[in-house]
Amino acid sequence: MDKYSFLEISAFIGIFLVLILALFLLTVKTKYKLGNRLFAFFLIGNAVDACKFLIHHIPENFISLEAFRWSIVYLVPALFYLYVLSVCFSDFRLKTKHLLHAIPFVAYNLYLMSGIYFENTAMKLHFIKTMNQMPITHFFQFLFELLFQVYFIASFLVIRKSRTVYLENYTNPNVSVINALYKITILYYLLHFLVLLRWLISFTIGLGEVRVWIVTLDGFAFLFCTCWYLFTALNNPEFFRGVNSRLKPITEVVPKQKPSLLVAEEKNKQIEFLKDFMVEKEPYLDSSLTIQNLSEQVKMPVKDLSTLINLYMDKHFFDFVNEYRIEKAKEMLKDPLQKELTILEILYEVGFNSKSSFSTSFKKHTGKTPTDFRKNPN
């Protein structure tokens, strides 16, 4: 087997595995159907585009189908962006307006229609032979690159906003999936530079061996990153619940200003009241506590409570709440009457809902693991 046969087999295996992952996402039973389907179609789009590395000769009867395959790439960045929205915002739904994302795909097919879809074979072959010299072809190549940059930068901004809002409004500190989503977005963005490198090599030194190996590296990296992300997401299905898209970071709602002496005194009173309430009523024991729940209990508007915690106390809501949970856990771990309780029982008792998030928060606040603290609480 020569190296080119090896590369073709590798590409075939990669495409096959990506399609299997997509099929799994389309058929698995879960309440996150929209997100799964969007990511599945994103994977399918990439697999369809990657088929070009296996196609060496196009039968005359399939020229139009091959041309249509070229257009699929104009949907891929938009599908990833919509997937990010579906993960980050719990109330995200596909609407008619989202069809606007398909405009580049439709425009490219209209371009192909004039030169391929409704022409005879001879005209199709002539169009394909000369299309790389046409300005409109260069325009669509530039358009794809622009779309990729815009959609992935927009994805970064959406992830950053949703993570900030999540930390300001919810108490579960484990955001594994949103962090994984941020990392996979970065990885896909970086992998795109391999595509740009491939284009550069194609235009400078042609279809050489270096280009072939870059294609292979790109394919394997994409497959590896996708498998890693799916493994993380599927093993942590509840870690990131998504936020309401109408919520905004508190800094966008209430710009931080230097308070007057009178305002500072008022805020200090509110802070002391809130601290006393947390100690006496222990609302943090509810693992599903949100800032909306707490605002109802302390009879303070959500906006004012969020401003008080995030701006005037300079803490994220989940940090604020989990400080009390950790203090409660420390009391239980030091109490000889509760030494029969396991770490798992204690973490659930104080309001956490996962061992990893409890251990991370506990070590962050105490510098020790829960087990070490129980052995040596001093």
Q: What is the model's pLDDT at position 162?
A: 84
Asked if residue 138 belongs to a domain, the reply is: yes
Residue where the block lists tokens 């898209």:
245
Give me the phi and psi of 243, to 5 degrees please: -115, 165
- CB 105, CB 151: distance < 8 Å: no
Radius of gyration of the chain (CA): 27
- CB 28, CB 53: distance < 8 Å: no
Q: Which of 4-8, 36-40, 168-172 is modeled with the greatest confidence?
A: 36-40
Q: What is the model's pLDDT at position 151?
A: 95
The CATH number of the domain holding residue 182 is 1.20.1070.10
Which of 235, 265, 300 terminates a domain? The answer is 235
Residues 36 and 155 in one domain: yes
Residues 215 and 270 in one domain: no
Closest to 26 measured CA to CA, from 35, 13, 16, 15: 35
Convert the pLDDT of each residue in 43-61 to its tens digit.
Answer: 999 889 888 777 777 888 8
- DSSP for 167-191, please give it: HHHB-----HHHHHHHHHHHHHHHH
- CB 34, CB 2: distance < 8 Å: no
Please name the helix (run of DSSP H) or strand (run of DSSP E) that holds residue 15, with its range, or none. helix 3-27
Residues 149 and 13 in one domain: yes
Asked if residue 246 belongs to a domain, the reply is: no
Residues 269 and 338 in one domain: yes
Assign 74 to helix, strand or coil.
helix
Whether the per-residue pLDDT at 247 is higher than 70: the answer is no
The CATH number of the domain holding residue 370 is 1.10.10.60
More confident: 203 or 63: 63
Convert the pLDDT of each residue in 65-84 to its tens digit.
Answer: 999 999 999 999 999 999 99
Whether the per-residue pLDDT at 64 is higher than 50: the answer is yes
| Residue 239: band (very low, low, confident or very high) from pLDDT cuts 50, 70, 90 | very low
Residues 127 and 263 in one domain: no
CA pair distance 35, 177, nearest whole angstrom:
13
Whether the per-residue pLDDT at 1 is higher than 50: the answer is no
DSSP state of 239: S
Residues 56 and 125 in one domain: yes
Average model confidence (pLDDT) across the chain: 81
Residues 231 and 339 in one domain: no
More confident: 242 or 80: 80
Containing domain of residue 38, as a range? 3-235
- CB 333, CB 373: distance < 8 Å: yes
Assign 356 to helix, strand or coil.
helix
Q: pTM to 2 decimals?
A: 0.74
Asked if residue 240 belongs to a domain, the reply is: no
| Residue 277: band (very low, low, confident or very high) from pLDDT cuts 50, 70, 90 | very high
Look at the chain and report how many structural domains it folds into. Answer: 2
Asked if residue 245 belongs to a domain, the reply is: no
Residues 266 and 203 in one domain: no
